[in-house]
Chain A
Amino acid sequence: MFKVEKEVTVANKQGLHARPAALFVQLVDKLNVSVTIQKEQEQINGKSIMALLTLGAQYGTVLKLIVQGEDLSQVQKALQAFEEFFGQQEEELNS
């Protein structure tokens, strides 16, 4: 079992917006990992679209990502996906 924790700053100008959040959930849903996102004291299930959207993580918020899974490559995939979807600027995302 691998457990990776990482702090990520939301770099997407729109925060955790609907479309990237949906893409993220769709992707991690297929992975055999558990994803927990922590914002200050609050922890949510990273596979829950409703929890993600209502977390209120705006541009610049620091989130702690906790991913656990049997397969390290899948764990890393989930971490990458988060950075990819929320770490980028929206312009790049739309292209």
Chain B
Amino acid sequence: MNEIVLKGIPASSGIAYGPAFILDKGEFIVPERVILEHEVDSEIARFEQAVNDTRHEIYFLKEKIKQDLGEKQAQIFDAYLLVLDDPALFEQVDQGIRQNKNAAEYIFLKVIKQHAQSFSKIKDEYLRERAGDLNDIAQRVLKHLMDESKLHDLDNLQDDLVIVAHNLSPSDAVSLYNKKIIAFVTDIGGPTSHTAIIAKSLGVPAVVGLKDSTLRITNDDYLIIDGQKGLVIIHPTQHTKEFYSKEHSQIRASLRRLEELKGLPAQTIDGKKIALLMNIGLANEVPSVKKFGAEGVGLYRTEFLYMNRLDLPTEEEQYQAYRQAVEVVSPYPVTIRTLDLGGDKFISSVQIPKEMSPFIFKTQLRAILRASAHGRVQLMYPMISGIGELRRANAILNEVKNNLHQEKIPFDSKIKVGVMMEVPSAVMTAEVLAKESDFFSIGTNDLIQYTLAVERVNEKTAHLYDPAHPAILRMIQKTVDAAHSEGIQVGVCGEMASDPTMALLLIGLRVDELSMSSSSILAIKKMVRSLRFSDIQSICQEAMQLTTGQEIQEFVLLQMQKLGVQ
């Protein structure tokens, strides 16, 4: 077989080789399971029990919503209960199990899908949308019928595979977190897609934006992934294999050299200290914060807590997760970003009625505040577009604080509350926001996307994604100036902070903190330790005079080489 080289967008560096696994994405994976005649009755009983359990669960949820949000919001669950009591549903499942001799979950899903299809044909828009409610009910019942983990096909994967997919949703990425995946390859996506973020935190290479890799690669094809250059090599020749094997050992050797920096401070030659923090999303990343010598967590992505599950995490569950991170990272701070309920980041198997958003937000705020009693917690709102939104969020925060106070539950009453600067309108009004914020953190991934009109997952526009674009650098400068004139700190928690060239510019623009995935911390520390702050500043000043992102990148790289930084 001939060697084929596919060129994509590098999303996470490193080299890996192994067999391909093509990931096909279905919604739920409920396998057929043939049953025997004498199992029919017990299978039907199992279905009835599952419906009963779901009914109790929904009844409980309804009561909780009624107390927290009022009667009207709770009414949505009445419809759920009616569906669970629907005699036609029972009849069809009962008959289906008897006639087809198949498992309850398989028949149930088939019946629900038929109904959902009828709903989707209704002319009335409101009724048509109720198909989504059916889906939610289906998930809840299935959870009682099946082992929850089996609802996601990804969990049945074997180890040591290169995952090849058209696209990976954040929740797929979470399912893959505990597997021994050695690399990711996707058809779509850009350098800041969730695939890239997850790959970086796993420390495995990823190449995205390959357009048609899922068509060109077949299962078990032997692949080499070059995350640095963005190459995927199918059926590599012996010569290529040898080349990459050498390359791989060189990378490992340089990683070992980086390891030596772990205990050393991130300080320039002339003594300027730069705070390097870590971005985390999952509880099992917490130990890496200390391991890599990060000075805290600059971004805790809480949306992962909500993914790949059929219910919402409770206040207690969130509190325990945040508290664990806070205690481990102490005395350094943990900056917890609240959910962006309206945005695309919040993709989950739970379908949440819009009316529940305030309830979810309050629950999360309570959990975060409670965790603040155990160390240094900073609270950060995403997607703020102006002062009005900040004030509204703060009003809810104050309400939650008052409640906790009345209930005599301890929390840090002086908790710092900051704004994630990622919407261009927020940057343009940074002076106003700075007056009512305790800190800023620039989310460069979204800021670049919104400023340059580049879609994050669209491989066709990925080449326009340009962190060094003069507009982006000026926006960062404006944000830093606004923050410093109000005496507040400003950090960067986007991927831009993990690229040494870009990090140099950020330091030159006087950003106070850089937060990044664990795999980048040591490389950035190395850059910081090999330069003088005075040099960084003059490189940055000169770069700011240039007119295109490419010129800026090339200039900075050249200056770094001149100063002996690799």
Contacts and interface: CB of A to CB of B under 8 A. Distances in A.
Interface of A: 14-15, 17-18, 22, 25-26, 29, 44-45, 47-51, 53-54, 56
A48 B122 contact: no
B74 to A, nearest CB: 14
Given A18-B126, A22-B82, 13 more contacts: A15-B124, A17-B124, A17-B127, A18-B130, A47-B87, A48-B86, A49-B79, A49-B86, A51-B86, A53-B130, A54-B119, A54-B122, A56-B123
B133 to A, nearest CB: 10
A74 B124 CA distance: 32
Contacts of A53: 119, 122, 127, 130
Report the 4 A-B pairs with minimum CB-CB distance, sorted nearest first: A48-B88, A54-B118, A49-B82, A48-B86
Contacts of B428: none
Contacts of A50: 83, 86, 88-89, 115, 118-119, 134
A29 B85 contact: yes
A48 B134 CA distance: 14
Contacts, number: 49
B78 interface: yes
Contact of B79 (A22, A44, A56): A22
Contacts of B122: 53-54, 56
Interface string B343-366: 000000000000000000000000
A18 B88 contact: no
B233 to A, nearest CB: 52
8 contacts: A29-B85, A45-B88, A48-B86, A49-B82, A50-B89, A50-B115, A53-B119, A54-B122
Contact of A45 (B87, B118, B130): B87
Contact of A54 (B78, B82, B85, B115): B115
A14 to B, nearest CB: 8
Nearest to A21: B82
Interface of A is mostly: helix
Interface residues on B, range: 20 to 34
A18 B89 CA distance: 17
Contacts of B88: 44-45, 48, 50-51
Nearest to A53: B127
A48 B127 contact: no
A18 B86 CA distance: 14
Interface string B62-88: 000000000000000011001101111
B113 to A, nearest CB: 12
A50 B112 CA distance: 10
Contacts of A25: 82
Contact of B87 (A18, A26, A48): A48
B83 A49 contact: yes
A91 B264 CA distance: 74
A18 B115 CA distance: 15
Contacts of B121: 54
Contacts of A15: 124
B123 to A, nearest CB: 8
Contacts of B87: 45, 47-48
Q: Which among B79, B122, B123, B127 has the highest number of chain A CB atoms within 10 Å?
A: B127
